[in-house]
Amino acid sequence: MDKLFIVMPAYNEAENIRQVVSDWHPMAENAGPDSRLVIVDDGSKDDTYKMLSSLEKEYPQLTALTKQNSGHGSTCLYAYRYAITNGADYVFQTDSDGQTLAELFPPFWEIRKDHDMVIGSREVREDGLFRLIVTRNLRLIIRLFFGVFVRDANSPYRLMKTIVLKEALEVIPDDFYLSNVLVSIFFAKKEKNVKSVTLKTRPRQGGVNSIFAPQIIKIGIKAVRDLFAFRKALK
């Protein structure tokens, strides 16, 4: 039986985390007794990790981890490496803000063997016009830098074969904030078998976004520099 690790970064998600665990834990259960829901607290300032630790007693396939704050991308990489080290055959990443829907996951799981990655493409964003503009600009930059088309490179809804994800992690810097963008580029550039599925999301279910427009602009400038370096690494 294939071993699935559903991984999520979490930062100040105390308002959402109980419902998120309730929604997603059945997906790990349905995948088999060795599968796990792994939520990595990224040094939250609220009670996110305390709540997760308590929920472990209620949800047997939940694993709660915590670490120093390092940002979303670095936390995803931490979670990916944890999943690989612990024998995952497939890794599914999503976010812990309640925007993504667990009910959409089963069709992804059903076609896992046919693709190296099945990724959700957010045709309609529920988190603001500015982020939609960023996604479109990122799509253009990736096309110019790498000569590949990726519809939603930073999508937080992706099921990946561990054997291919492990290849990608070998060339991705540990501190790259938009690490999922690099994973998407790697899969596209290396002509891996990727299936894009239109993804429905909903507005954030509680709490507030931890990243705002000025920070996104600053991150974007750094990301462009890092993409140049990543292009060299891929060669």
* Residue 131 to residue 138: CA distance in whole angstroms: 10
pLDDT for res 211: 53
Domain ranges across the chain:
4-234
pLDDT for res 219: 59
Which amino acid, one-letter code, is at 101?
A: L
pLDDT for res 177: 78
How many other CB atoms are found less than 10 A from the CB of residue 217? Answer: 11
pLDDT higher than threshold 70 for residue 14: yes
pLDDT higher than threshold 90 for residue 21: yes
- SS3 for 121? strand
Residues 222/190, Cβ–Cβ less than 8 Å = no
Average pLDDT of the residues of the chain? 89
pLDDT higher than threshold 90 for residue 173: no
pLDDT for res 202: 83
Structure tokens at 197: 């599925």
Q: Which 8-state DSSP code applies to residue 5?
A: E
Confidence of residue 109 (pLDDT cuts 50, 70, 90): very high
* Residue 131 to residue 133: CA distance in whole angstroms: 5
In the block, residue with structure tokens 């790697």:
186
Structure tokens at 32: 């088999």
Q: Which CATH number fits domain 4-234: 3.20.20.140, 3.90.550.10, 3.40.50.300, 2.40.50.140?
A: 3.90.550.10
* Residue 64 to residue 41: CA distance in whole angstroms: 7
